[in-house]
Amino acid sequence: MSFELILVIVTAVSGVIAYVDYIIWRPKRLKAVVAAKEPIIVEYARSLFPIFLIVLVLRSFIIEPFKIPSGSMYPTLQIGDFIVVNKFAYGVKLPVIQTTVIPVSSPERGDVVVFKFPDDPTVDYIKRVVGVPGDEITYLDRTLFINGERVKTELIGQYRGTDSGTVMNGASVVKEFFSDERSHEILLDMDKKSLDMPTIKVPEGQYFVMGDNRDHSNDSRFWGFVPEKNLKGRAFGIWMNWDSGIHFNRIGKGIE
């Protein structure tokens, strides 16, 4: 049972108890000759319902925190980063069933998104959107092609990480440009065999995603596309990092 489902259940149960008490049980207690003591379950339900409701609304419709557990998004996101995700970036969805009730926008190339892993929806993944519906994607010799055109890149230098990131030291830091206004950095590990992929077309309602740590990422090259319904939101900021201690230089950093 997911945390989101548990949150929905406890919010609903506490709300029902508080409501029934307000319209039925409380009036009876007040009319009693000897004032009856309020049941402990009613006291807790009335006190906790507003808290549960606020957390449910914030987490389901506004923002949700996540922790980065792996290095698949180096150098953009590091192990130990605590990030926040905009839950309404791609539309307002009902909790648990994830049905979109108010469309807002669609993911664009370059967005860093959190989604339910298609092969196991109980697991959340984070990757970068590379292909949108209708795009033809090719990846050969560590080079990305979109609709037959090579994506512009620029070599920055060698990666020098700290703590868990030291495992990637020496990898090539490359800036990748999806447009003149939108770019991000990726890592290429020249010591590994390139994970090539022939041309595929992204179906309607689906997205092709890749990790920024291109040679160390389990992404759409292996398991396919991400359905729109699996999207949870767009990652936009880092509020904390803990990896063998707090890294203050990561706090408050935006996600490009």
Catalytic residues: 72, 127
C-alpha Rg value of the chain to the nearest Å? 23
CA–CA distances in Å: residue 131 to residues 106, 120, 162, 205:
12, 21, 31, 11
- A 10 A CB-CB count for 74 gives 27
Nearest to 232 by CA among 109, 62, 101: 62
Q: DSSP string of 22-82?
A: IIIIHHHHHHSSSPPPPPHHHHHHHHHHHHHHHHHHIIIIIEEEEE--SSTTTTTS-TTEE
CA angle 47, 49, 52 (to 5 degrees): 120
Tokens matching residue 84: 């926040």
**CA pair distance 113, 229, nearest whole angstrom:** 13
- A 10 A CB-CB count for 14 gives 22
Nearest to 100 by CA among 225, 235, 205: 205
Judge contact between 18 and 43, C-beta under 8 A.
no
Q: DSSP string of 139-152?
A: EETTEEEETTEEPE
